[in-house]
Structure 1
């Protein structure tokens, strides 16, 4: 069930509208248009690890950062901020229980993960007997047209090509929210046309690629993060995205990353194949423009470090062709929080 501006949302179409009908009506709702305009006016915050603080300075904040296809449910008693970025045709989804501040954030990249993914996001967020409303924010996606599908498995599977990648994903998300029994109060719908800017030649780009949520207040801010905050275990987590497409255990799911109860990152194991090693070896010699065309659903809209990040993943795969070196005994890679708010890897207990 969807709520907008405090009222149950309905469309002018049939009693069982399709996702595209729900999406079209939501995009035109005056309250959501106003919220999008307000969100667009907020300056994007760029986050990085600050220089070492003196004793009189503010203690460091506790963060949880999410990569593509990951999700996390965080407790405001343990985490100050949760966020994601690097979204072009992907969509960041934040769902918060205003009663207790529990906040769930996901970086969704395909309609195929929405059904199970939303169930994962809600697993610790509400009592299923509860009738309370949940605040929802959607940020990401833009008016893209992607006739060529990237073949590096780093982005979503090919959907309705003429509609691009963003629209089918956004339509699936709102349709699933509509059909679920929980009450979803949509507060931010900064997607598609609301999140699109154009250059002088008419080329489209997303206005914002990410956001962060303050868990104590529920405030949402446009945000980007540098490599120092895209942690822990950056490269392995990036590789898991592409590896997950060939790992049946991840089919239709968001990737497990963070343990809510212990405030630890637990990077669940994921195997990569010889095929992915062969792809990594073959792509290393391509030029940057060629890599963008082959590996992105939105080549002209990617961040400047997109190709560099791809190359670093391939280098890791070439150096570690056997996934069992990274996940010995198929055990997760566990990271515990330090006193400074960062992350330290826990030594693996291998019998």
Structure 2
């Protein structure tokens, strides 16, 4: 069940129109226009961005979570902040039977619809605090390209306060490249299909990177992709080339180089066991197994 300000978010389509996505479409429209959520999004966008850098003396400890990963702080307190998706849809003219019609293509909108519908249909109560997505999180550059206003954020687990944030390359530890690969290959693994990847154990302050496998020919594919120019990498490997951060291409090449050097997944996950990392006294991460 999805709640805003303690009240359930209702859908008139819940009973009659059970077709895939119908409920999600209605809910997204309602949430995008909710005055309280719009005000919360405006306040969030007006908040100065925090720069997160690991290894800096006095830097607070943090846990970095990639797309398709999740980390649970307190299972008894389920507050939801939907942040980051933007209006990335492009207009395409489709012709059929001699007629033409306009079709909107993009990734953020259908993903948002799916997320809110899943939350709405769950027996668990989810308290929605932020809905800074789609038109509530979109700006344009000088060329008219749509961009997200907020691309990353940090949550203070003690207070629940959310702040826009950017992250240095060294702040995405531990095991950044392997985790990126796992997120990529999990889409081919039926045991992970449609699921988020649990990564962090908050009770033990431990990262457990669940094993994943990849085909040996991924090394050949990675080698071929690595021959592309930076502009070609952006156009072929990104769903929103104009919106990518400066380090996007570098991150892609790091993944490919790892696959080239480690074509056998068992070298990374011996005996199909997870990679476990403990936090050290200085705040860095050390591999335990």
For the criterion TM > 0.5, the same-fold answer is yes
1:23 is aligned, of 22, 28, 34, to: 28
Partner in structure 2 of residue 238 of structure 1? 180
Deviation of 1:168 after TM superposition, in Å, equals: 0.4
1: CA distance, partners of 2:14 / 2:66: 37
Matched, 1:8 2:22: no
2: CA distance, partners of 1:339 / 1:213: 22
Alignment of 1:218-237 (within 5 A): 218-237=160-179
Question: Alignment length, in residue pairs?
Answer: 273
Partner in structure 2 of residue 109 of structure 1? none
Residue 312 of structure 1 aligns to a residue in which SS?
helix
CA RMSD of aligned residues (A): 1.9
Task: Give the conservation status (yes or no) of the 8 Å contact 1:62–1:342.
Answer: no
Partner in structure 2 of residue 85 of structure 1? none
1: CA distance, partners of 2:119 / 2:198: 21
2: CA distance, partners of 1:340 / 1:147: 50
Partner in structure 1 of residue 43 of structure 2? 38
Task: Give the conservation status (yes or no) of the 8 Å contact 2:211–2:269.
Answer: yes
Residue 144 of structure 2 aligns to a residue in which SS?
coil
2: CA distance, partners of 1:268 / 1:325: 14
Alignment of 1:66-105 (within 5 A): 66-74=65-73, 102=74
Residue 248 of structure 1 aligns to a residue in which SS?
coil
Residues 313 and 15 (structure 1 numbering): CA distance in 2 closer, same or farther, change over 3 Å?
closer
Task: Give the conservation status (yes or no) of the 8 Å contact 2:217–2:263.
Answer: no
Residue 257 of structure 1 aligns to a residue in which SS?
strand
Residue 167 of structure 1 aligns to a residue in which SS?
helix
Residue 221 of structure 1 aligns to a residue in which SS?
strand
Residue 262 of structure 1 aligns to a residue in which SS?
coil
Query: Where does the alignment leave 5 or more consecutive residues of structure 1 unmatched?
Result: 53-57, 75-101, 103-124, 127-132, 149-160
2: CA distance, partners of 1:176 / 1:260: 24
Deviation of 1:213 after TM superposition, in Å, equals: 0.6
Task: Give the conservation status (yes or no) of the 8 Å contact 1:141–1:191.
Answer: yes
Larger mean Cα displacement after TM superposition, 42-51 or 229-238: 42-51
Deviation of 1:14 after TM superposition, in Å, equals: 4.1
Deviation of 1:15 after TM superposition, in Å, equals: 5.0
2: CA distance, partners of 1:303 / 1:271: 28
Task: Give the conservation status (yes or no) of the 8 Å contact 2:137–2:150.
Answer: yes
Query: Where does the alignment leave 5 or more consecutive residues of structure 2 unmatched?
Result: 16-21, 93-102
Cα displacement string for residues 172-220 of structure 1 (whole angstroms, at most 9, x for unaligned residues): 1111122222222211100000110012332100011111110110111
Residue 67 of structure 2 aligns to a residue in which SS?
coil
Residue 128 of structure 2 aligns to a residue in which SS?
strand
Alignment of 1:128-167 (within 5 A): 134-145=78-89, 162-167=104-109
Deviation of 1:167 after TM superposition, in Å, equals: 0.2
1: CA distance, partners of 2:237 / 2:200: 27
1: CA distance, partners of 2:14 / 2:287: 51
Alignment of 1:201-350 (within 5 A): 201-346=143-288, 348=289
Runs of at least 4 residues off by over 6 Å: none
1: CA distance, partners of 2:246 / 2:152: 15
1: CA distance, partners of 2:108 / 2:172: 24
